[in-house]
Amino acid sequence: MIRTFLTAALLASAAPLGAQPLPTPTPAPSSAPLYLPTVPADVAALRDRALNDDHYAWDIVEGLTTEIGQRMGGTEAEARAREWAVAKLKALGFSNVRVERFAMPVWTRGAESAEILAPFPQKLALTAFGNSASTPPGGISGEVVGFDTLADLMAAPDAAVRGKIVFISHAMPRTQDGSGYGFFGGPRRQGPSIASRKGAIAVVVRSIGTDHHRNPHAGSQSFEEGASPIPSAALALPDAEQLQRILKRGKPVSMHLTLVSSVRQGESGNVIAEVPGRDPKAPVLLVGGHLDSWDLGTGAIDDGAGVAITTAAAKHIMDAGRPLRTIRVVWFGAEEMGLYGGMFYKDLHGREPHYAIAESDFGADRIWKVDSKLGTTREAEARALQAALAPLGIVPGAIDKADGSDIGPMIEGGLPAVGLSQDGTHYFDIHHTPDDTLDKIDPEQLRQNVAAWTAMLATLSGGIEPGPKQAKRR
Amino acid sequence: MIRTFLTAALLASAAPLGAQPLPTPTPAPSSAPLYLPTVPADVAALRDRALNDDHYAWDIVEGLTTEIGQRMGGTEAEARAREWAVAKLKALGFSNVRVERFAMPVWTRGAESAEILAPFPQKLALTAFGNSASTPPGGISGEVVGFDTLADLMAAPDAAVRGKIVFISHAMPRTQDGSGYGFFGGPRRQGPSIASRKGAIAVVVRSIGTDHHRNPHAGSQSFEEGASPIPSAALALPDAEQLQRILKRGKPVSMHLTLVSSVRQGESGNVIAEVPGRDPKAPVLLVGGHLDSWDLGTGAIDDGAGVAITTAAAKHIMDAGRPLRTIRVVWFGAEEMGLYGGMFYKDLHGREPHYAIAESDFGADRIWKVDSKLGTTREAEARALQAALAPLGIVPGAIDKADGSDIGPMIEGGLPAVGLSQDGTHYFDIHHTPDDTLDKIDPEQLRQNVAAWTAMLATLSGGIEPGPKQAKRR
C-alpha cells in the first residue's frame, strides 16, 4: 500500500500536470553477455582428471631442478639437461624424441662484487647482466651518478656522466599480467647502451623486480650499435634503495666494482618430442617452454615449470588415446640469452604450417586468462577453448592476440597461437634470482596449469580416439 | 511467552515429579578478570604522542644502517658505529655519553662456497657459522651423511660419521614468541661439537630460519671441550631441502666446501648515555639493545631497531622533563659473538643497584605482550605497567619472569627486569641473513614500540617534572 502510494507520488512529481515531459537519456548499451558453447564431456573429463591427479608435471620439474639445477644456455649444464630431457621424454612414451642443435656465443659470469668506498664504506649485493663487459680482475673504481628514471639519464648532458658509474632506478609496480616488465625493464635493456654512449665507465641498475631480498635479478641486455660494451649489473632492491639514500646525503659517492665475465663459442639445442596424430599430414600443435635457465637459481619457475606443464598436458592426451593432429612438445634451448632456441626453430620450421603454437613461460602460478589468435575463420574454436577453460576460473580474453617468448617471432610471423596467462603478481619477486627454486612452486596451482593445457590440447586436437593400447584394455 | 513456556517444560523434564534430583557438577572456577589501575594522564599523553609522532627511532635506525651498514663485533666497522653512536647521542642531548671498551677475539669470514660434486653437480648457498674452523683456501671434499635431527646424529655410530661431511636438518616452526629458536637451534649450537667428536671433517646445517630464500642464516656456535674445531656452516633453506632431495635418491653424495675464516685479537665497547634523574642516588633504569650486527646485512632488525626504539623512548622522557630516576641507555657491543658487551657491563656494573633493566632485541614488529620480574613487593608497579601498555594492544603477561640477550645474565643474577615481547612470527625469516635491511622495518610498528617503551619508562621513572627548558616554555 505504502509503496503504491509513493510510486504514484513520484510519477506525479516526474510529470506534473500540464508540464512537458522531461527528456529521457538514451539507455546505455548493454554489455553483451558472452554465451560460450557446451564443453564436450571427454574434454571436461580429461581436464578434471589432470586437475585432481596430475603428477607428471611435478615429477618433471622436481627432477630437472634437483638432478640438474641451473642450466644456463650453451653451458655443459644445459647439455646435461638435454640428455636428461631426452631420457625423460622417451621414458614417458613420446615419439620422435630428438635434439636440434645450434651454435651460439656463451657469456659466462665470473667473480662479482660491489663496494661503496666513500662516504659510507659498505658492500652492496649485485649481479652482472648477460653480455656485460668484463672489468679487470681487480675491478674498477669511480664516482657514482644517480638517475631516478631512464628519461633522466637520457636528458643528462654527457659531461655529467663521462668517466662515471651510472646508477639508474625506476618504479616498476606489481601487476597481475606482468605488463610493467616492458616499460620498466628499459633501464636494464637500454640503460647500458645509453650510459655507454654518454661515456660512462659502468652502469648499475635497480633490479627489475618487485621483492625486497638481497638477491639481485639477472637478465640479458645487448649493446646497441655505437655503444661500446661497458660493465653492467643489477643491484638487489634493498641495495638500490640504500644507494639512493646514500646519494641523497649529497656527498660524493665512490664505488668499487668487480664484474668479471668471459665469452666463448658454444652450443645449445631444442629438445623435441611428439604425440603422433592419426593424420600425419595435419598441421602440428606446438606446445612447450624453455629448457635453459639463468645461472643463479635452479630454474624452477623459469622455466622448469613451463616444460613440465606442457609436457604433462601432452602426456595426458597420449594416455587418453590418439589425437587427430600431432602434438609437438618443444623444450627450447638458450632462451634467456636472446631467444636462440626460438629463432632456430623458426629458421628450421617456421614456414611449415602449425595448427596452433603456445608456450608456458611465466612461472607456475594459476592461469587466470586465455587469449588466442587462431584467425578470423576459427572463432568457434576460440570460443570452445574459452568454454573448456572457464570452469578452472579462467577469464575468456582476446581472440585476436596471443604472445610468448620463444614463439613470439613466429606469432609475429602469422602462425596461429594461444596464450594461457599465468598470474604474475608474485612472478617478479623471484624472476632471474637465486630464489628461483622448487619450493616456490605450489603443486595445486601447478595442477591447475596442467588441467588448462590438457583442456586446450584436447579442444584443438581434432578428437582423440583410443589407441592400440587403450583399445586393447576395453 | 514462548520462552517462558519452554523454560517451564525444561524444568519439568529436569526434575520429574517424584524422582530424585540429578546431581549438579561443581561450577568451573571462573578465571578472575584482571582489573588494572587507571593510567596517569601524563603517562598516557607521553605514550600517545610517541605513538603518533615519533621520528627519533626511524632517524636512528635509518642513519645507522645507511651511514655504517654492517658492524660486526670487534671490527673497524663497529668502531665507526661507536663513533656514530656517540655523536648521535650527544646531538640528541643525552648526558654522560661515553664508551666502555673491552678486548675480544674477532672471528672474520673469508671466501665461502659449497658445491655438490656427484651425483648431480651444482652449487649450494651457505655461510659459515661464527667460530667455524677454516678450510684451506682450496677447500675440502668429502662424502655427505645426512641426519634429520640432532638426536639422529647423536645416536649414529662414529663409524657412520668419521671422515665425512655431516648435514643436519630440523623442523623449526614459525611461532609468535620465537620459542622454537631454543630447541631447534640445537643443530647449530651443539651439532658442530657432536659431529666433531664423532670424527666428521665438517658440518653443514639447515639454516635456523623460517623463510625460503637463498640467504643463509649466520649465527655463532662454540666448540665444547674435547671437540676440536671443524668447518661449520648454514645452508640456505632451499639448499638444505635440495640436499635432502639429492640424498633421498640413494646415491653417494660428495661435496666440496670452502669456508675460509680467521681469528685475531680486537676490541669492542659499550656506548652509554644518560638522562640524569633528579635523585642522583636513586638506582638507574637501564634500557638498550646491541650496536653490533652480523656481517651479512645492515643490522636493521637485529639490532638497529632495538637501540633506536629504546633511545627514542628515553629521548621522549627527556623532552618531557626530568625523571626522578636516571635513565641509562646502553648500546651493547659484540652481542652476536657471545654477549661480550653484556658480560662486560655485568662485570663493571652488575653489582650496582638497578631499578629495572630491559632490552629490545627481537626485531621491529609490534609489541604484543609485557612480562616483568620486579620482585614480589612491586606488584602494584607491574600492574601499573600492564595498564599503561594495554591500550597499545599489549597483553598483560607474567609478573615473575623477564628475559633479554645482553641483560640475560644480570636477570639471572637477580636484577629487576621488564620484557616487552615483540611479535616474532616473521623474525626468523630475516634473522642473521643478508636480508636484515632497513626496508624490513615498518615505521608504524616501530612507533608502537617506541610508545610502549616510553610508557614503560614514564611508569617506572618516579615522576617527571619540568626541567629548566620545559619550565621556561610554560
Residues A438, B237: C-beta atoms closer than 8 Å: no
Chain A residues with CB-CB distance to B245 below 8 A: 62, 66, 438
| pLDDT band (50, 70, 90) for residue A466 | confident
Residues B434, A214: C-beta atoms closer than 8 Å: yes
Report whether B276 contacts B391 (CB < 8 A): no
Number of inter-chain CB pairs under 8 A, A vs B? 94
| pLDDT band (50, 70, 90) for residue A468 | low
For B239, the closest chain A residue by CA position comes to: A437
Parallel, antiparallel, or unpaired: how do β-strands A202-206 and A232-235 relate? parallel
Q: Supply the pLDDT for residue B27.
A: 81
Say how many C-beta atoms besides its own lie within 10 A of residue A17's C-beta: 5
Point out the residue among B66, B123, B246 whose CB comes nearest to the CB of A242: B66
What is the dihedral angle through the alpha carbons of B316, B318, B319, B322, rounded to the nearest 10 degrees? 130
Share of residues in chain A with pLDDT > 90 (%): 91
Provide the 8-state DSSP code for A303: I
For residue A266, give the 3-state DSSP assignment.
Answer: strand
Q: Supply the pLDDT for residue B21.
A: 86
Query: How is residue B61 written as a grid cell?
Result: 635506525
> Which helix H or strand E contains A147, and what residues bound it?
strand A140-147
Identify the weakest region by mean pLDDT among A112-126, A350-364, A372-386, B23-37.
B23-37
Q: Supply the pLDDT for residue A35.
A: 84
Beta strands in B276-376 (DSSP E): 284-290, 322-323, 327-332, 354-359, 367-373
Q: Supply the pLDDT for residue B17.
A: 55
Q: How far apart are CA B269 and CA B242, in angstroms?
A: 41
Q: How far apart are CA B233 and CA B121, in angstroms?
A: 20
| pLDDT band (50, 70, 90) for residue A8 | very low
Mean confidence (pLDDT) of chain B: 94
The pLDDT tens digits of the residues spanning A306-315 come to: 999 999 999 9
Chain B residues with CB-CB distance to A435 below 8 A: 212-214, 238
The pLDDT tens digits of the residues spanning A114-170 come to: 999 999 999 999 999 999 999 999 999 999 999 999 999 999 999 999 999 999 999
Report whether A303 contacts A289 (CB < 8 A): yes
Say how many C-beta atoms besides its own lie within 10 A of residue B209's C-beta: 27
ipTM reported for the complex surpasses 0.85: yes
Q: Supply the pLDDT for residue B456.
A: 98
pLDDT at A415 over 70: yes
Report whether B283 contacts B63 (CB < 8 A): no
Parallel, antiparallel, or unpaired: how do β-strands A367-373 and B165-168 relate? unpaired
Point out the residue among A120, A212, A437 whose CB comes nearest to the CB of B68: A120
Say how many C-beta atoms besides its own lie within 10 A of residue A268's C-beta: 29
Q: Supply the pLDDT for residue B24.
A: 87
Q: Where do we find the cell 657432536?
A: B194
Q: Supply the pLDDT for residue B229.
A: 98
Query: How is residue A88 written as a grid cell?
Result: 625423460
Q: What are phi and psi of A453, to 5 degrees?
A: -70, -35
Point out the residue among B66, B77, B242 whose CB comes nearest to the CB of A245: B66
Rounded to the nearest angstrom, the gap between the alpha carbon of residue B204 and the centroid of all alpha carbons in its chain is 24
Active site residue A335: yes
Q: Supply the pLDDT for residue A470.
A: 55
Provide the 8-state DSSP code for B376: G
Q: Supply the pLDDT for residue B18.
A: 61
Query: How is residue A471 written as a grid cell?
Result: 583399445
Nearest to B238 by CA among B441, B439, B438, B433: B433
Point out the residue among B62, B215, B438 whose CB comes nearest to the CB of A214: B215
Q: Supply the pLDDT for residue A467.
A: 74
pTM comes to 0.90
Q: Where do we find the cell 651423511?
A: B145
Interface of A with B (CB under 8 A): 62, 65-70, 77, 119-123, 125, 212-215, 237-238, 241-242, 245-246, 249, 297-298, 433-435, 437-440
Q: How far apart are CA B332 and CA B313, in angstroms?
A: 17
Q: How far apart are CA B67 and CA B430, in angstroms?
A: 21
Q: Which of A78, A274, A335, A336 is labelled catalytic?
A: A335
Chain B interface mutation, best of A75, A109, A127, A214, highest count of B Cβ atoms under 10 Å? A214
Give the HSE-up count for residue B167: Cα atoms under 13 Å, Cβ half-sphere.
28
Q: How far apart are CA A429 and CA A210, in angstroms?
A: 5
| pLDDT band (50, 70, 90) for residue A348 | very high
Radius of gyration over every alpha carbon of chain B, rounded to an integer in angstroms: 27
Residues of chain B below pLDDT 70: 1-18, 32-33, 468-474
> Which helix H or strand E contains B3, and what residues bound it?
helix B2-14
Q: How far apart are CA A300 and CA A306, in angstroms?
A: 9
Q: How far apart are CA A172 and CA A424, in angstroms?
A: 13
Interface of B with A (CB under 8 A): 62, 65-70, 77, 119-123, 125, 212-215, 237-238, 241-242, 245-246, 249, 297-298, 433-435, 437-440
Chain A residues with CB-CB distance to B121 below 8 A: 69, 77
Residues B215, A212: C-beta atoms closer than 8 Å: no
Nearest to B433 by CA among B169, B124, B231, B208: B208
For residue B305, give the 3-state DSSP assignment.
Answer: helix
pLDDT at A209 over 70: yes
